[in-house]
Amino acid sequence: MFARPSARVRPVRLAASTLLLAVIFTAGASAQQPAAAPLQGASSERAIVDQYCLGCHNTTAKIAGLALDTVSPENVGRDTDVWEKVLRRLRARQMPPAGMPRPGERAYGEVVASLEKSLDRAAAAHPNPGRTDTFRRLTRTEYRNAVRDLIAVEIDAASLLPSDESSHGFDNVTVGDLSPTLLDRYVSAAEKIGRLAVGRPSRSPDGQTIRLPPDLTQEEHIDGLPIGTRGGALVPYTFPLDGEYEFTIRLTRDRNEDIEGLREPHELELLLDERRMELFTVAPPEGESPPAADQHLKIRLPVKAGSHKVAAAFLKKPSALLETERQPYQAHFNYYRHPRIQPAIYSISIVGPYDAAGPGETASRQRLFVCRPTRESEEEGCAQRIIETLMRRAYRRPVTARDFAGPLAFYREARAEEGFEAGIEMALRAVLVSPEFLFRVERDPAGLTPKTAYRISGLELASRLSFFLWSSVPDDELLDAAMRGDLSKPALLERQVKRMLADERSRALVTNFASQWLYLRNLDSMTPDMRLFPDFDDNLRQALRQETELFFETILREDRSVLDLLNADYTFVNERLAKHYGIPNIYGSRFRRISLDEGSKRGGLLRHGSILTVTSYATRTSPVIRGKWVLENFLGTPPPPPLPNVPSLENTVGEGLSVRERLAEHRANPVCAGCHQLMDPAGFSLENYDAVGRWRTAEAGKPIDATGGLPDGSEFDGVAGLQQALLRRPELFAGTFTEKLLTYALGRGVEPYDAPAVREIVRKAQAENFRFSSLVQGIANSTPFQMRRSR
Amino acid sequence: MIITKKALPRRTFLRGVGATVALPLLDAMVPAMTAQSATPANAVRRLGFVYMPMGSDIKNWTPPGEGNLNELSPTLSSLAGVRDQLTVITNLELKNSYPGTHATSNAGFLSAAKAKWTESTDYHLGTTVDQIAAKQIGQETQLPSLELAMDLLSTVGQCDNGYACVYQNNLSWSSPTTPLPYEAHPRIVFERLFGEGGSTSDRRAALRQRASLLDWVKEDISRLQNDLGADDRGKVSQYLDSVREVERRIQKAEAQTADNILPDLDRPVGVPAAYADHARLMFDLQVLAWQGDVTRVITFQLARETSNRTYPEIGIPDPHHPLTHHGGNEEKIAKMARINAFHVSLFAYFLEKLRATPEGGGTLLDHSLLLYGSGMGNPNVHDHVNLPILVAGGGAGKHRGGRHIRYAQPTPLANLHLTLLEKAGVRLDAFADSQGKIDELLSI
């Protein structure tokens, strides 16, 4: 009677708390199910649900907490959450689990289409845009960008503010708090920024020491430094005042405090804005207890206030052994294993100003001082203009007299004591600690009935747009457009979005959105085992990041299809990365776009070393993490959280087995199998890439088995198979990408009631082959982005 | 007593930092220790809480025998020098941390409360023991409490089981809905403790400016309150509490500016590359914070739960988290135990340093009480029983060390929290799921 599933363990997708029960019930319930007759033609949803779902999802068994006998597919509007859940699993062909009786592809398609239609109709009748939090603090990244755009001051936000915690994969969700510590830090940050912007002399010379990453190999040229140099670093630095600054260079030392690699004299230069300021020579010390060989690497130079590029690098010796000639690449930073061949720079310190000559003429002063009083009687009027211009940008709205009173009072008080500029600085500080700047506030219009969907104001929409696309405050043009009411006109809104995407500031979508979505942020904390991966150095870490950032940015700038992310015949490499990938004939530190031919091992995010590395452990790959990453970030069907009290599986059996064999052992355990059947196979198909993303065909002498699968039951071999399987239903990937982007855009988790909006965005974008801008425009136009539900 | 150049050597910070760059001397202020005399002689002046992630190998952790702590276990051997001020407590548990996860291990450690399962802004836990203490013994100092950690980089996609990252990353919660941010950057910690420097009048002027800015912020925030729902109004009143708290801190700092002396201190310039150097520097800062009486309550997380940090400096290139899921593999257990011992040795460094710092008639350690341990028991199965826990310090005569308390039955960790609070002068009837106090610790 019942067609018994094949011997392999059946994947089942279950909620954590009911997993164990679920497995038992699955077996029990299935046994009573009628034989799976191939479905003929259209069938009502009810019939399909009855036939394929109720065996497990009924009131008695209630597997995954789901009982479909008590809800009606004829009236989905009553239980949209339940049906959205069902739809998601059906669309991904994840339910019924592969191996169980399943409808034919046509019936799947029909039931999905019909469910979507009824759900969309229900949503159109009662739109639910969700409710973003009333108070949302700027994240550290947004704060930094806002300061840059307001007053042209570049700050290192990480040294001023604590980090933000992430939720739903992004750090702009749980941002409702303002602890005393945070407030304290905002007050100190405003003090420092105010001083920098205006150029007020500080009490004493201040300094910063920039340390180069300890695992940076410095034997070769580093991008951004002059040709003919090797190693070193380029440091953007904001000099607070015109004056003299002292630059000190220190070289790396070994544990005996000897300078590494110093066997003969070397020359190194200090540069300011690409101009050589000094050429030093360092030589091996001679005689008894000589002074440190880098003691004299110190110089005092006059520098104009503002942002400059400080650089230090060694002159490359023509005689030095050319590392490029040798294979394979070896890192040189580890004293014991791969010592430096030549000396390297440890840190660059900048201390000053000494003999400060004044604030100079910086970009920030030009931006801040929109007028300059020439006599005392002009001061008050000019101050008002300056403060009002600043406040409008900072508060993202027109300024009221009441807003204005506070900062103006601060101006007047400080003006009386210390003069005009001190007054402006104090007003600036006040603006920077105002809750109107630090928080994005969205409030319900007065007199609205509870739980009503309403359109947010034009100014609120302008802020949503700018923080979405730029991670920063709106510019004057956007504010003007909002004030004119342009943003409520679709064509004009579209024009603004287009303009904003074309603007340089939209790079935040790469460095802030993509870096969180793809876990690129984790690269900095990845330290692959030095013994197993001796050539992993910071040069490679940065190259890996850069490949993915350039790739994502290309799709954004050239407005390409987001499906390129899955499968592309181009990528970006420099010599360091090309060597890592085994791509020949790429020389130099500069990144360039290369075309990939059919048989290439690269192209598409799944083949990017960055992603393959952040989803691995320090010593080996993790098919579980990789599989989960694919399910979560590409398919939008993350496995349920791990079962409480059950340890991560791949680490609970003995050594001597390949990861695949070990995992197979775990999946023999039905409790574990439920989720690992979903996650592991996708990860297995990436096994041809090692823990740092290099291609391999064998592991520990055994050939790699890269056969894998997806929860929809598809089976394939290797990364190409995985890519094809993902591309077979591009709307799943596009939908997941949209959900991630929407989470980030709204700063809240995407809920079942957002699903109709996501579907609409994806449907419209499909007509444009999922061009990047079509998805962004879709979000900007969507109900959850334009509306809000009242309390 | 006076803090002299000798007591705070100029190289205090540089050892860990590596770079002995000649930064201008910082005119830091360490307030004179006047508060000392004002405090009753027999109250615990300071509480410290140090978190070790992902439990331990309890076999290597638990000392043999019970009653007297005659012999230390392999993991605890580095604490030999302070054994007389050490009590190991075996068989404590955190019932509210179930279902067993990393997030709830960290969240439960100081709260013993149940963490609401959510990834959104509606997170909810409980006020942590350090914060309850801070409300009592932290009000006289500039900072009621100091929250420190070791992880500088925020990671994505690594929080646990559908719990918001705040549970996994924040040890201290000043209310059930207010996780406190932590700081891992030595320079920033230094500036929070000692400011940027300058002459007395410069600093006074700077503080006055801050105070008047905050006055205005308070007004501005109050204005936000119009036309809000109840929960949003609650948010605003939380913000106002924060403003008032920062105002209080500024007043304290102003008062302390009056009679401060200026030791010869360097501001740490960077973050040491090696984990151990960084951790020791963070401990150095804690010693300074207590020595200068800038704060009396400190929490410090040695690493996050699920940390994949490797420890090459002790010959362990394997990431920590996978090692803890050892599956009974002896080699992995041994490595995990070595990481445990390494963490303990850093704590031992801290205790030794506190003991070497004189205060009043004794040492800093004499007047302090510290809790060290983890919210996870056996990480291989994510349980929260038989937690590795120890108490150190003289507790101002309220703690007799050299003991090993071994409970026959699993006993709530909250009992210990309740006991620590009592020793710090905070009398509560209960804390979270406590069932009483640790009587043995109370009997001196």
CATH number reported for the structural domain that contains residue B403 in this entry: 3.40.720.10
Query: What pLDDT was estimated at residue B197?
Result: 58
Q: Strands B403-412 and B86-93: what pairing?
A: parallel
For residue B7, being part of any structural domain is answered with no
Alpha-carbon distance A318 to nearest alpha carbon in chain B (angstroms): 31
- A residues 485..544 contacting B (CB < 8 A): 516, 519, 521-522, 524-525, 527, 529-532
Taking the C-alpha atoms of residue B195 and residue B212, their distance in angstroms, rounded to an integer, is 18
Q: B75 vs A69, which has greater pLDDT?
A: B75
Q: Which domain holds residue B62?
A: 33-185+270-442
Alpha-carbon distance A107 to nearest alpha carbon in chain B (angstroms): 34
Report whether the peptide linkage leading into residue B358 is cis, meaning its omega lies within 30 degrees of zero.
Answer: no
For residue B66, being part of any structural domain is answered with yes
Query: What pLDDT was estimated at residue A265?
Result: 94
Q: Which residues of B touch A647 (CB under 8 A)?
A: 325, 327, 379-382
Cα distances (Å, whole numbers) of residue B149 to A114, A213, A646, A713, B49: 52, 21, 27, 44, 11
Q: Which residues of B touch A430 (CB under 8 A)?
A: 213, 216
- A residues 273..312 contacting B (CB < 8 A): none
Query: What pLDDT was estimated at residue B258?
Result: 59
Mark yes or no for CB contact A178/B239 under 8 Å: yes
Mutate to test the interface with B, among A168, A174, A298, A395 (most CBs of B within 10 A): A174
Mark yes or no for CB contact B322/A163 under 8 Å: no
Mark yes or no for CB contact B235/A135 under 8 Å: yes
> Are residues B283 and B346 in contact, defined by beta-carbon separation less than 8 angstroms?
yes
Residue B270: name the closest of B96, B108, B422, B152 by CA.
B152
A703-A705-A706-A710 Cα dihedral, nearest 10 degrees = -170
Which of A169, A203, A529 lies nearest to residue B156, judging by beta carbons? A169
Q: Which residues of A touch B239 (CB under 8 A)?
A: 178, 435
Taking the C-alpha atoms of residue B377 and residue A4, their distance in angstroms, rounded to an integer, is 42
Query: What pLDDT was estimated at residue A203?
Result: 63
pLDDT digits (tens, 9 = 90+) for B389-423: 999 999 888 888 999 999 999 999 999 999 999 98
CB contacts < 8 Å between A and B, how many?
257
Alpha-carbon distance A194 to nearest alpha carbon in chain B (angstroms): 13
Local structure of A135: helix, strand or coil: strand
Question: What are B226's two structure tokens?
Answer: 């119009």
For residue B214, being part of any structural domain is answered with no
- Residue A479 has φ and ψ, to the nearest 5°, of -65, -45
Q: Which amino acid is at A440?
A: R
> Are residues A751 and A436 in contact, defined by beta-carbon separation less than 8 angstroms?
no
Query: What pLDDT was estimated at residue B1?
Result: 29
Checking if the pLDDT of B284 tops 60, the result is yes
Number of domains in chain B: 1
Residue with tokens 């840190």: A347
Count of beta carbons in the 10 Å neighbourhood of residue A99: 18
Local structure of B81: helix, strand or coil: helix
DSSP 8-state assignment for residue B185: -
- Residue A782 has φ and ψ, to the nearest 5°, of -80, 160
A710-744 core/surface letters (b: 16 or more CB in 10 A; e: else): bbbebebebbbbbbebbeebbebbbbbbbbbbbbb
Which of B21, B217, B224 lies nearest to residue A349, judging by beta carbons? B21
Q: Which domains does chain A have, with CATH numbers?
A: 16-125 (no CATH), 206-358 (2.60.120.260), 512-728 (no CATH)
For residue B127, being part of any structural domain is answered with yes
Mark yes or no for CB contact B165/A174 under 8 Å: yes
| Crossing angle (nearest 10°) for helices B275-291 and B330-355 | 30
Burial of B406 (0-12, 13-18, 19+ CB in 10 A): middle
Burial of A697 (0-12, 13-18, 19+ CB in 10 A): exposed
For residue B2, being part of any structural domain is answered with no
Looking at B259-384, list the stretches that DSSP marks H as alpha helix, in order from N- to C-terminal side: 275-291, 320-324, 330-355
Residue A580: name the closest of A635, A541, A619, A630 by CA.
A541
Taking the C-alpha atoms of residue A461 and residue A9, their distance in angstroms, rounded to an integer, is 50
> Are residues A783 and A126 in contact, defined by beta-carbon separation less than 8 angstroms?
no
Mean pLDDT of all residues belonging to chain B: 83
Question: What are A335's two structure tokens?
Answer: 């004293």
Exposure of A684 in the CB half-sphere (CA atoms within 13 A): 24
Taking the C-alpha atoms of residue A333 and residue A240, their distance in angstroms, rounded to an integer, is 34
Is A65 at the interface with chain B, CB within 8 A? no
Is A400 at the interface with chain B, CB within 8 A? no
How sure is the predictor about B352, in pLDDT bands with cuts at 50, 70 and 90?
A: very high
Residue with tokens 């739809």: A87
Which distant-in-sequence residues (6+ apart) come within 8 Å of A205 by Cβ? A351, A352, A353, A354, B24
Neighbouring-strand partners of residue A636 = none
Alpha-carbon distance A651 to nearest alpha carbon in chain B (angstroms): 5
> Are residues B215 and B165 in contact, defined by beta-carbon separation less than 8 angstroms?
no
For residue B256, being part of any structural domain is answered with no
Q: Which residues of A touch B223 (CB under 8 A)?
A: 402
Report whether the peptide linkage leading into residue A353 is cis, meaning its omega lies within 30 degrees of zero.
Answer: yes
Q: Report the residue of chain B nearest A207, measured CA to CA.
A: B23
Query: What pLDDT was estimated at residue B270?
Result: 65
> Are residues A677 and A10 in contact, defined by beta-carbon separation less than 8 angstroms?
yes
Residue B268: name the closest of B254, B284, B253, B244 by CA.
B284
- Residues of chain A with pLDDT below 50 are 1-43, 324, 649-654
Instruction: Give chain B's radius of gyration (CA, Å).
Output: 21
Which distant-in-sequence residues (6+ apart) come within 8 Å of A295 by Cβ? none
Q: Which residues of A touch B246 (CB under 8 A)?
A: 180, 183-184, 187
How sure is the predictor about B42, in pLDDT bands with cuts at 50, 70 and 90?
A: low
pLDDT digits (tens, 9 = 90+) for B136-194: 888 888 899 999 999 876 666 667 677 888 899 899 999 999 899 899 888 888 878 87
For residue B360, being part of any structural domain is answered with yes
Helix (H) or strand (E) holding A14: none
Query: What pLDDT was estimated at residue A209?
Result: 79
Complex prediction ipTM = 0.83
For residue B180, being part of any structural domain is answered with yes
Alpha-carbon distance B199 to nearest alpha carbon in chain A (angstroms): 9
Q: Which residues of B touch A182 (CB under 8 A)?
A: 181, 242
Taking the C-alpha atoms of residue A687 and residue A721, their distance in angstroms, rounded to an integer, is 12
Mutate to test the interface with B, among A166, A252, A412, A521 (most CBs of B within 10 A): A166
Alpha-carbon distance A526 to nearest alpha carbon in chain B (angstroms): 9
Q: What is the distance of C-alpha A43 from the center of its chain? A: 44
Q: Which residues of A touch B156 (CB under 8 A)?
A: 166, 169-171, 516, 519, 521-522
Which of A167, A180, A525 lies nearest to residue B153, judging by beta carbons? A525
